[in-house]
Amino acid sequence: MSGIDNEQARSSTAMAPLLGRPGSRIGLSHFNTFEHFNKLPVELRLRIWKITAFFQRNVNIMAITLPNFYPEVHHGFVSHCPPPAMLAVCRESRHEGMKYYRLDFDTSKQRYVEIGGKRCSVTVSTSPIIYINWEADRVVVPSPATFEDYVGARVTERAQELGEHFRCRGLRYLAFNMAGDDMDDEITALDFLPYDGFLGSLEELIFFSIDRDIACRLDSFDLVDVADDEIYQWLPFQQSIHIEFANFYGDSYVLPRIRFCEVQNERLRPGPRV
């Protein structure tokens, strides 16, 4: 027997417990789980975990107003996107996953409140509670209107702070929901974009349209390109994007890849919208 035949025989013997008896019939249900994963070489397991960490997730981000600071207004960022599944599989998967995912979207602002008749300065903070892999995940803004404030500023503090997160973290993939009760959503969405230094790392920009009540309750969903016969509906908005960028950057700007999509395979969180 040759050396190659010996190696094949040893491989077949080693894999026998994983593959079952030769000629045995295995139902499709057996492929839903892989009970022998922990018997794989550690190098292969770690590689699989890394690949899993780079499956792109749609991480939806909304802003909420924190109470008890009127007339000062502070906000926090929330998401309905569940934590990455690999962080809850086992100790090894969580250890590997935390190399790529981080808790983010914390906020910290100095505000002024009345305490005992005196105007005092306090620091209001929110903790980072949203997992994201900045190299792979797509940030989705399901309701840009949640980033409006009460001062009438076109570029709001909330939008600026989120844009700063994007710039510092090197955001690569971004999507906006353009459906709303009026045109304010479109204006607010455009306000995120001409942000100094914001486009340096952005590779893909998606726009989609879905009812805001549904958008704010999305747990998971897919974004799929609209059909060719529907793209004409987005052409006026695409032109407004180019005008907005040209006014802000001049002729030197380079837009990321722009896609117009529809939502499919959505799973909703029960309850009212944020």
**Do 134 and 103 meet the contact criterion of CB atoms below 8 Å apart?**
no
Structural domain boundaries, residue 161: 55-84+133-268
> What is the pLDDT, as a whole number, of residue 189?
58
> What is the pLDDT, as a whole number, of residue 17?
47
Residue 236 lies in a domain: yes
SS3 121: strand
**Do 166 and 203 meet the contact criterion of CB atoms below 8 Å apart?**
no
> What is the pLDDT, as a whole number, of residue 165?
81
> What is the pLDDT, as a whole number, of residue 20?
45
Other Cβ atoms closer than 10 A to 261: 17
Instruction: With CA atoms as reference, report the closest residue to 238 among 190, 180, 177.
Output: 190
In angstroms, rounded to a whole number, what is the distance separating the alpha carbons of residues 163 and 169? 10
Residue 30 tokens, joined:
């057996």
Residue 224 lies in a domain: yes
Residue 10 lies in a domain: no
Q: Could you tell me which residues are beta bridge partners of residue 260?
A: 207
> What is the pLDDT, as a whole number, of residue 266?
78
> What is the pLDDT, as a whole number, of residue 64?
79
In angstroms, rounded to a whole number, what is the distance separating the alpha carbons of residues 12 and 245? 61
Residue 96 lies in a domain: no
> What is the pLDDT, as a whole number, of residue 28?
46
> What is the pLDDT, as a whole number, of residue 57?
93
Indicate the pTM of the whole model.
Answer: 0.76
Residue 181 lies in a domain: yes
Instruction: Please give the backbone phi and psi of residue 17, each rounded to the nearest 5 degrees, phi first.
Output: -65, -25
Residue 79 lies in a domain: yes
- From first to last of its 274 residues, the chain has per-residue pLDDT tens of 455 455 445 444 444 444 444 444 445 455 566 678 888 999 999 999 999 999 999 998 888 777 665 555 667 888 888 899 999 999 999 999 999 999 999 888 777 777 778 888 878 788 899 999 999 999 998 877 777 664 444 446 777 778 778 888 989 999 988 875 454 444 455 656 555 555 668 889 898 888 877 777 777 788 899 988 888 888 887 887 777 777 766 666 677 888 999 988 877 766 444 4
Residue 21 lies in a domain: no
Residue 99 lies in a domain: no
**Cis status, amide bond into 128, omega within 30 of 0:** no
In angstroms, rounded to a whole number, what is the distance separating the alpha carbons of residues 17 and 267? 38
Domain count, the chain: 1
CA dist list (Å): 101 to 54, 88, 131: 10, 13, 6
